[in-house]
Amino acid sequence: MSSLLSAELAATCNALGYYDAKANKYYADSNTLETVKDLIRYLRKDDENHDIRRHLGVTKVVQTDLLPLLKNYWEETELFDVLLRLLVNLTMPALMLWHEEPPTEKTARNYYLQIEVLGLVKYSFADEAVWAVLSSRISKILEIDYAERGDENSLIIERILILIRNVLYIPVDPDAERRPDNDASIHDQVLWSLHQSGMLDIILYISSSTMEQAYYMHTLEILSFMLREQSATENTVHQQFHNGASILYAHVGDTVVHVERTIRHGTGKRRFTT
């Protein structure tokens, strides 16, 4: 990446806003909306080496700016929508960027592994407050009759589900976690945050509602990724978490069977959106 582009990206990220330690709050800049749109435009111009994506990962813009903005300004509809689009983009699994074929060429492989390492962003999503605002937004849309929602609302539901899928998909290196054997994994902490925020109930509702079959493939992916590390709960240090997570996993497993059966009979449809 050229020094000029690096400087432009740094200036753009700095223009998003700032964190006030005394007030313990993140404040948006007067041009935050346009700045988020600028970042989306930069990513559209990214090359096959994903220089811009890797740069934004190194600067931790998701953790330090985007998620604080989402939590503090989620009621500003237009800003929420573009933040959601950007978060979906930046959490896209590395494997998907290479069309589900990990690169073998040395340089490309290094870029691929770098983006995977930047998946440490998963830690920031073990935050009930993040999922609470997303849960509030999606639940309000689900209250609208399916036939009256319109495309924009349907896209918001789909993007939120894709964001959840992306976050759960992110693998975590146990060595990098450096946690006691009897502690909850970051995967379990994200799942627990989804539960505490009410988002898991929404996912299970969508999975069992005949009116929401357009999202069945998304919820199936989410539920499958939830179960991927279920054995980690066996050593959880807090008994409340252990018991609750075990029940959640059992419920999720039953729902996966239901969704798979429905899709197999041809009633589940899927659209791809970022």
- Given a contact cutoff of 8 angstroms between Cβ atoms, the answer to whether 187 and 228 are in contact is yes
Confidence of residue 187 (pLDDT cuts 50, 70, 90): confident
Distinct helix (H) and strand (E) counts, the chain: 15, 2
Nearest to 225 by CA among 138, 164, 177: 164
Mean per-residue pLDDT, 245-261: 56
What are the structure tokens assigned to 189, written together? 């902490």
Cα–Cα distance measured from residue 10 to residue 3, given in angstroms and rounded to the nearest whole number: 10
Res 174 pLDDT > 90: no
pLDDT for 251 equals 57
Kindly list the distances between the CA atom of residue 216 and the CA atoms of 198, 203, 222, 241, 261, in Å, as whole numbers in the listed order. 19, 10, 10, 28, 11
17-26 pLDDT, tens digit per residue, is: 999 999 999 9
**Most distant CA pair in the chain: distance in Å?**
56
Q: What is the spatial distance between Cα 223 and Cα 139, in angstroms, rounded to a whole number?
A: 18
Classify burial at 242, counting beta carbons within 10 Å of its beta carbon; exposed 0-12, middle 13-18, buried 19 or more. middle
Joined together, the tokens standing for residue 10 give 């740094």
CA 118, 25, 185, 92 dihedral sign is negative
Single out the residue of 190, 197, 177, 221 nearest to residue 133, CA to CA: 197
pLDDT band of 130, cuts 50, 70, 90: very high
- For the chain, percent of residues with pLDDT exceeding 90: 56
**So what's the pLDDT on residue 241?**
45
Contact by Cβ (8 Å): 122, 172: yes
* Structure tokens given for 222: 């989410």
**Phi then psi dihedrals of residue 20, to 5 deg:** -100, 110
Domain ranges (residues) in the chain: 1-125
The count of residues in the chain is 274
Of residues 204 and 243, the one with the higher pLDDT is 204
Q: Are 26 and 72 in contact (CB under 8 A)?
A: yes
| Predicted confidence (pLDDT) per residue in 55-109, tens digit | 999 999 999 999 999 999 999 999 999 999 999 999 998 888 888 888 889 999 8
Q: Per-residue pLDDT for 122 more than 80?
A: yes
Dihedral of alpha carbons 157, 160, 166, 167, sign: negative
Give me the amino acid identity at 245.
Answer: A
Closest residue by Cα to residue 154 from 262, 81, 70: 81
Q: Decide if pLDDT at 267 tops 90.
A: no
